[in-house]
Amino acid sequence: MGTQRRARGKAAYLNPDLPAERRARDLLSRMTLKEKVAQMLCIWQQKSGTMLDENGDFDPKKAKARFRNRLGLGQVGRPSDAGRGKNAREMAELTNAIQKFFVENSRLKIPVIFHEECLHGLAAVDATSFPQPIGLGATFDPGLVGRVFEATAEEARVRGTHQALTPVVDVARDPRWGRVEETYGEDPHLVARMGIAAVRGFQGDATFRDRKHVIATLKHFAAHGQPESGTNCAPVNVSERLLREVFLSPFKQAIREGGAISVMASYNEIDGVPSHANKWLLRDVLRKEWGFKGYVVSDYYAVRELHERPELFGNHLAADGKEAAALAVRAGVNIELPDRDCYPGIVELVKKGILRESQIDELVAPMLLWKFRLGLFEEPYVDPEAAERVAGCDAHRELALQAARETITLL
């Protein structure tokens, strides 16, 4: 009877027997505005100033001082690069320590998501390195691509990673563009088939019960592969027909057939509208037409760049960072990567009536849902011994060699 009473008295979001959707709704209903906005924030380079010591190890005193408000945090970016770079065991220990802190020191005990770069294998010390996507595209073998990213997902997940900022399903249409090697080539059909295979490799059946898979992130949405003069981040000028038939098609197929859970908006403008402020692109096409139910992440610093990123790049659409945040929220960007910059201003924007709290709820809800579906509330930690055993294992090295052989192309 005592156990039954405790179960009945437990908050619904903490009950693993309830559907993830109900748990997410219950949790959202209990959150303050500040707690909701905290879920839309990430820390990457700010790790050293907020939670790590000089060696890149977790510093509980520093973290308690910085996060004394107990609001929580949405994501932590690339724990593998802490200090001089963490090997598999060290990274698993670090993600465990960070996760433990947020689970125990946030009011609602919401775990964080860790994301990593996984373009051709996990970008981390001792991880298996596979051929670049442009080489994998030349294999014309979706099955091989699926196995490559299934191995990548396992190496990432056992270290504590939950989301891969991959695959790139840009269609490369300007050979001067410096990121062609990140793509599967110039043909939208080939890019789509490889993108679907990569998503399925990363996500598996998307139940995440085996703790060997991670969320895939399609990027860069959209038309990043044909910038003016081949210059990265430059504007893209294409007709809507060309946009849909060439550049949007791989995204649509990777979402509808592959089941991709996350999408990253692109730096570039399309017909003068930056993707991070493009309601038509992120709401009308992605969500309403295609039925996308996942969440959109910003490219690194791209929300700031709606205003200006000093000495680098700016769209000059927003007057300042707060206006940039408002534009991105209205367009449908769920979380700002990689560091807290513009989105902390959302709290003030809501209080002033510039944004509505219901708009924030809409963007936070799917991110909470996937934290439940990833199983993070029940199993937030990983096994450092397993991480060490899987990283760069013989089976993955043999797969990398096979993939390298298959990429060889006679010209």
Identity at 25, one-letter amino acid code: R
What are the CB-based long-range contacts (under 8 Å, 24+) for 406-409? Answer: 406/139, 406/141, 406/144, 407/131, 407/135, 407/136, 407/138, 407/139, 409/138
* Set 299, 320, 383, 394: catalytic member: 299
The radius of gyration of the chain's CA atoms, rounded to the nearest angstrom, is 21
Q: Would you state the torsion angle of the CA atoms of residues 122, 114, 96, 100, taken in this order, to the nearest 10 degrees?
A: 180
- 284 catalytic? Reply is no
Task: Determine the Cα–Cα distance for residues 347 and 44; give it in Å rounded to an integer.
Answer: 21
- Cβ neighbors of 16 (< 8 A, separation 6 or more) are 377, 378
Residue with tokens 């595209």: 137
For residue 344, the one-letter residue type is P
CB 300 within 8 A of CB 42: no
Helical ranges in 107-169 per DSSP H: 133-137, 142-157
At 34, the amino acid letter reads: K
d(CA 274, CA 281): 10
Active site residues: 299
